[in-house]
Amino acid sequence: MGVCARAPLPSRCQAGVEFECVPSLPTGDDDDCNTVDEDCDGEVDEHYAVVESCGEGICRTRSTPASCVGGVETACAPGAPNGERDGNCDLVDDDCDGVADEDVVVLLGGERRLTDEEASSVRPRLVANGGGFMAAWADGRAGGANIYLRRLDAQGAPAAALQRISVLGGGHFQPSLAAANARIGDNIRVTNNPHSSILPSLVPTPTGFGVAWQDRRAGNQEIWFRHLDEFAVPIAQPVRISDDPDNSFGPSLAWDGNAFAVAWYDTRHGEGEIYVARGPFGCPPE
């Protein structure tokens, strides 16, 4: 049968001795889709392994299995996704990328509008603080850009009156906010040089704060740092963190419980690259 009948050794009579026909050997297990009886059992393609499903997520659930009909193989075909995004919280991979619910956005309590002024409100900063939040931003409601602060509850709703933090005219941008057990006092000047000091990054420590910023007192934009006490009063001289022939921008400061670290980007190699330095940055106050 099958391929075994293609080239058998015929029966023969030799010197009065009869030899029976000897079939050819099988050529396989009959798992190919080719209508050939490869294992010589009288059936074709009976061991062809059907791929029942393919693809990821909902596309796998909806897939069309592979088939073998008349020696023609049709490959398994994934079904259609539910969409380009997986925004339903249902443990189903709707966009068939192998991950379920990765585009779900959970809004606890929904969006809340904190400002409603004709002038733009920009550069928001938010920190958690004692079961709620503190929000700071810059806006021009008073005629020039100033920094404002508002306490929010755990759901993000305003929980206290609006406070204006900057008091000297306008031109105040880019607040940096840190939560600590300290009173809200007067404005304190941290930098004092003839060039603009911008993009501050403030973090609390057990004894006060650290603040990093960028300015060009040294000729080009560099990253600087200063220790502050619990009331944000400077208690050490500014320390230069970056020192390269090109500009350094956008400091981001962190405190790990033992030391400060600051990250920034600069263009010393032509394109912007990220750098990081770890403290203590100068001589920390006792």
Indicate if the pLDDT at residue 284 is higher than 70. Answer: no
Number of domains within the chain: 1
pLDDT at 14: 81
Kindly state whether residue 244 falls inside one of the protein's structural domains: yes
Whether residue 236 has pLDDT greater than 90 = no
Q: Is residue 153 part of a domain?
A: yes
Max CA pair span of the chain: 126
Is 230 among the domain residues? yes
Token pair 């650290």 is at which residue? 210
pLDDT at 75 over 80: yes
* Average pLDDT rounded to a whole number, residues 267-274: 82
Domain that holds residue 142: 121-278
pLDDT at residue 12 tops 70 = yes
Read off the pLDDT of residues 102-133 as tens digits, 9 standing for 90 and up.
Answer: 888 766 566 778 888 888 888 787 877 777 78
Residue type, 34: N
Domain membership of residue 176 (yes or no) is yes
Determine which of 25-34, 48-57, 157-166, 203-212 has the lowest per-residue pLDDT on average: 157-166
Give the 3-state DSSP-derived string for 243-257, with helices as H, strands as E and coil as C. CCCCCEEEEEEEECC
Model pLDDT, residue 228: 85
Q: Where are the beta strands (DSSP E) in 86-184?
A: 121-129, 132-139, 146-152, 163-164
Say whether pLDDT at 242 is over 80.
yes
Query: Is residue 258 assigned to a domain?
Result: yes
Residue 250 lies in a domain: yes
Question: Looking at the whole model, is its pTM more than 0.85?
Answer: no
pLDDT of 92 reads 93
Residue 98 inside a domain? The answer is no
Q: What's the pLDDT at 82?
A: 93
What is the DSSP code (8-state) at residue 59?
Answer: H
Looking only at the bridges linking them, the beta strands covering 197-205 and 67-69 are: unpaired
Residue 274 located in a structural domain: yes
Give me the residues paired with residue 225 across strands: 212, 239
Among 9-13, 95-99, 185-189, 276-280, top mean pLDDT goes to 95-99
